[in-house]
Structures are given as C-alpha cells and as structure tokens.
Amino acid sequence: MVSLFKRIVGGKKEAEVLSKIREHLSAIKTSCEIFYIALEKNDIELLKEVCELEKMGDTLRREVALLLYEGAFLPVIRADLYNFAEVIDEVLDTLEDTSISYTRVARELDPHIKEMCLRVAKINLKMSKYLISAFDALGEDEDLRDKTIKIRAYEREIDIIKNDIIKSLARVEVKTYWEGKNLSDFVEDLVEISDYIENAADLIQILNVSLR
C-alpha cells in the first residue's frame, strides 16, 4: 500500500493522510464485524465497542483535515480527500446509530426479521472489506473498477432485502407507536450503512482520477 501511494503522490504529509484514511476504513470493517457478531449473539454490551470506534473515527477525520489544511496535496485534490474522509465518518456514525437503535428493539425483534437483518449486516461487512480493497487499488484502474462494481452489486442486494424486511414489518403487531418507530429506525439505520459505503466507493473513483 505505502509503495503504491508513494508512487502516486510522493510526499510525507500526503502519505500520512492516506495512511490515516486507510486506518479510518479499517475502523469501518472492524465496526461491521463487531455489529454482526453482536446482532447474531444478541450481545448488547459488545456494541459499546462500535461507539468507541466512532469516537476514534472522529479523531482520524480531524487529523486528516488538519494535515490537508497544513498543505498536504495540491489544493484541487484536498476537497475530494476531505469529502471522502467525511463520508467514511458518516459510515461510522451510522453504524453507531444502528447499534443504539438495536438496543431499543433487541427484545422485540421478530426472529424472521432478525435473520434478514443478519443478512444485511453480513453484506455490510463484505462491502467494508471491498471498500478497503478499492482504496488500496488506487492507480490500478481495472482492479478498482471490479471492486466498485462488486460494492454496487452488494448495495442492490441489500435494497432487495430491505423491501422484504419492510413487508415483514408491516405484519408485525406493535403495542405502541414508539415500539413501531424504533423498529423502523433500526431497519433504516442498518440499510443506510450500505448507501454510505457505496458513496465512499464512488469517491474513490474520483480520487483515482484526481491523484494521477
């Protein structure tokens, strides 16, 4: 990874920015792994780790912004890199939101709906791994294209599962308005993760052009 980025950009500050961004991406993968395990085992305590990773992500985003402000990269590229760091952070923010919303519905979640949610969480994890691979493929057009195509295919798969979950939710009896809202919020947060990952993949393609 380092040798590829040095070949693309050369400078020490630039390499540091890209290294921090990759660390940020790794935090997404770890959060997706933790969330999937917590959902599978109904381990609410484990979800605290997702919140800690979100805090770490905020720190990384600020560090990237500071390095860019200090002059890393040409001005025309800085906006793309900052936008990318912002979208990465939104993935972690949404993972935290999903973790919090799950704690409100864990006891009432229908087993069939939970099974579909597990499928979504597993695909989110796969997408997070492909996102890292896409970032590592900067400068390798064909390899990068293959990985971003895979990410989009996974996102479409989640859209299909989302429709199935919504149909199942419509048949669930809820005792109060808030119980229904909490269920709806949890599903919306869960499927939104893939949207942000796809947005990040699109920005990687823009970066691939900008860094030439």
The total of structural domains in the chain comes to 1
Euclidean distance between the first and the last CA atom of the chain, given in angstroms as a whole number: 16
Q: What is the pLDDT of residue 81?
A: 92
Q: Are 31 and 141 in contact (CB under 8 A)?
A: no
Q: How confident is the model at residue 126 (pLDDT cuts 50, 70, 90)?
A: very high
Q: C-alpha 115: how far from its chain's center?
A: 21
Q: Are 47 and 99 in contact (CB under 8 A)?
A: yes
What CATH number should be reported for the domain holding residue 202?
A: 1.20.58.220
Domain range for 25 is: 10-210
Contacts of 187 (CB under 8 A, 6+ apart): 117, 162, 165, 166, 169
Instruction: With respect to residue 105, please indicate whether it lies within any of the assigned structural domains.
Output: yes
Instruction: With respect to residue 20, please indicate whether it lies within any of the assigned structural domains.
Output: yes
Q: Are 93 and 31 in contact (CB under 8 A)?
A: no
Q: Are 32 and 41 in contact (CB under 8 A)?
A: no
pTM above 0.95, yes or no: no
Q: Is the pLDDT of residue 3 over 70?
A: no
Q: At 82, phi and psi to the nearest 5?
A: -65, -40
Q: C-alpha 77: how far from its chain's center?
A: 22
Instruction: With respect to residue 1, please indicate whether it lies within any of the assigned structural domains.
Output: no
Q: 138-174 pLDDT, tens per residue?
A: 888 888 999 999 999 999 999 999 999 999 998 988 8
Q: What is the pLDDT of residue 210?
A: 78
Q: Are 203 and 83 in contact (CB under 8 A)?
A: yes
Q: Is the pLDDT of residue 13 over 90?
A: no
Q: Is the pLDDT of residue 1 over 70?
A: no
Instruction: With respect to residue 154, please indicate whether it lies within any of the assigned structural domains.
Output: yes
Q: Are 169 and 113 in contact (CB under 8 A)?
A: yes
Instruction: With respect to residue 64, please indicate whether it lies within any of the assigned structural domains.
Output: yes
Instruction: With respect to residue 2, please indicate whether it lies within any of the assigned structural domains.
Output: no
Instruction: With respect to residue 3, please indicate whether it lies within any of the assigned structural domains.
Output: no
